[in-house]
Amino acid sequence: MSGLRVIGLAGWSGAGKTTLLSRLIPLLVTRGVRVATLKHAHHGFDVDHPGKDSHIHRQAGAREVIVSSSRRWAQIREVAEGDEARLPDLLRRLTPEGLALVEGFKRESHAKLEVFRAANGRPPIFPDDPRIVGIASDVPFPEAGVPVVGLDDIAVVADLVLSRAEPLETVLARLESV
């Protein structure tokens, strides 16, 4: 896989997006794919914890905090209400190779795999979103017009994700033309 390719996972809360990702990522890694994830959160969240230096710095008023060690680094940036980062800006921050799996951002125009679970009691998204390029579901959708694979058939989900992911440049051009 050359360059960064992007695909989203879209679905209602409780559909199993995070569970699917937790099973999909290890399989992709064993296939030699460098995986990055980008998760949208709907509310304030913390990745640093009370009592830790990064939290103390942020609570003291630092607008950006970078924590670095020999094994990883993380950046936390505080933004004003209404200044939420846009998907194109976040995608540009990723290493430009491998596969980016975007969880959330379901209203954006990047290619998405819908995660659907019937017990969730919500309608499917694909009829109203032309950027749904496949569905991982526990029920069939013969009218979908896109590939439908079993929610628990992780190898087939991985194949679908890899075949339907789009080059970063294509995704950025579409996102920025809206």
CA distance 74 to 87: 18
CATH architecture of 4-44+84-176: 3-Layer(aba) Sandwich (3.40)
> How would you label 38-74 residue by residue, b for 16+ Cβ within 10 Å and e otherwise?
bebeeeeeeebeeeeebbebbeeeeeebeeeeeeeee
CB 117 within 8 A of CB 15: yes
Distances (CA, A) of 128 to 85, 131, 145, 157: 25, 9, 13, 22
- % of the chain surpassing 70 pLDDT: 96
The burial of 90, by beta-carbon neighbours within 10 Å (0-12 exposed, 13-18 middle, 19 or more buried), is given as middle
- % of the chain surpassing 90 pLDDT: 65
- Range 67-84 average pLDDT: 81
Residue 1 has pLDDT above 60, yes or no: no
Between 55 and 114, the higher pLDDT residue: 114
All residues at 6 or more sequence positions from 32 whose CB lies less than 8 Å from its CB, including other chains: none
pLDDT at 45: 61
CB 171 within 8 A of CB 6: yes
CA distance 49 to 65: 13
Quote the tokens at residue 145: 């017009």
Residue 153 has pLDDT above 80, yes or no: yes
Domain ranges of the chain: 4-44+84-176
CB 55 within 8 A of CB 67: no
DSSP one-letter code for 72:
-
Residue 47 has pLDDT above 80, yes or no: no
Residue 43 has pLDDT above 70, yes or no: no
